[in-house]
Chain A
Amino acid sequence: DQQVKQNSPSLSVQEGRISILNCDYTNSMFDYFLWYKKYPAEGPTFLISISSIKDKNEDGRFTVFLNKSAKHLSLHIVPSQPGDSAVYFCAASEGTYKYIFGTGTRLKVLA
């Protein structure tokens, strides 16, 4: 049973526009969420995180929104740049370092 789901395997966005990546989870006990970006042949790179006591966290062009009632989080990238093209993973945990990852969304930003 996939506790963390990224239902869109891929997404294409024009440069300068907003990219919205979505993630759904089923375990209401998850209290910490992270987004990672992964380029081929490299390990995932931490992007941004959010605790369950918040509903929004911003870091530069990246904003993560958490909707606990819907068990949904999203990552917004504004404006999107070609260098943002990568696979994005969301991950969730319930107070431990046992993170459950989604299957990833491949973002392609078109120049």
Chain B
Amino acid sequence: KAGVTQTPRYLIKTRGQQVTLSCSPISGHRSVSWYQQTPGQGLQFLFEYFSETQRNKGNFPGRFSGRQFSNSRSEMNVSTLELGDSALYLCASAGEGAETQYFGPGTRLLVL
């Protein structure tokens, strides 16, 4: 079974721009979660989608948004980028009723 895939793997943007990241979950997984990883902060939970609905949300500003499509693929959007948004963005998927999440390789975003 193919794992979680994320595109693009690397991205460079400038302050004020917006960015969209994509995540394809493991086949059959309907839950997709997004995390931000920065040095010293570990993984910070952004949000979780299940069957196209946002089910859980972390403590990030409204500039961070996401959506999930009917095929369970998910996108995350960050508008009005700030320097502090530079991070590794990780996506994880889980099967229905399963507690374990499986992570993709991440998208490394650099904001200049």
Contact = CB atoms under 8 A, between A and B. Distances in A.
Interface of A: 6, 32, 34, 36, 41-46, 49, 51, 89, 91, 93, 96-104
Given A6-B42, A46-B103, A98-B33, 19 more contacts: A32-B99, A34-B101, A36-B103, A43-B4, A43-B6, A43-B90, A43-B104, A44-B103, A46-B100, A49-B100, A89-B42, A89-B43, A96-B48, A97-B55, A100-B45, A101-B35, A101-B42, A101-B45, A103-B40
B42 A97 contact: no
A103 B48 contact: no
Interface size class of B (residues with CB under 8 A): 20 to 34
Contacts of B55: 96-97
Contacts of B45: 98-101
Interface of B: 4, 6, 31, 33, 35, 40-45, 48, 50, 55-56, 58, 90, 92, 94, 99-106
Contacts of B31: 97
Contacts of B42: 6, 89, 101-104
Contact of A44 (B41, B58, B90): B90
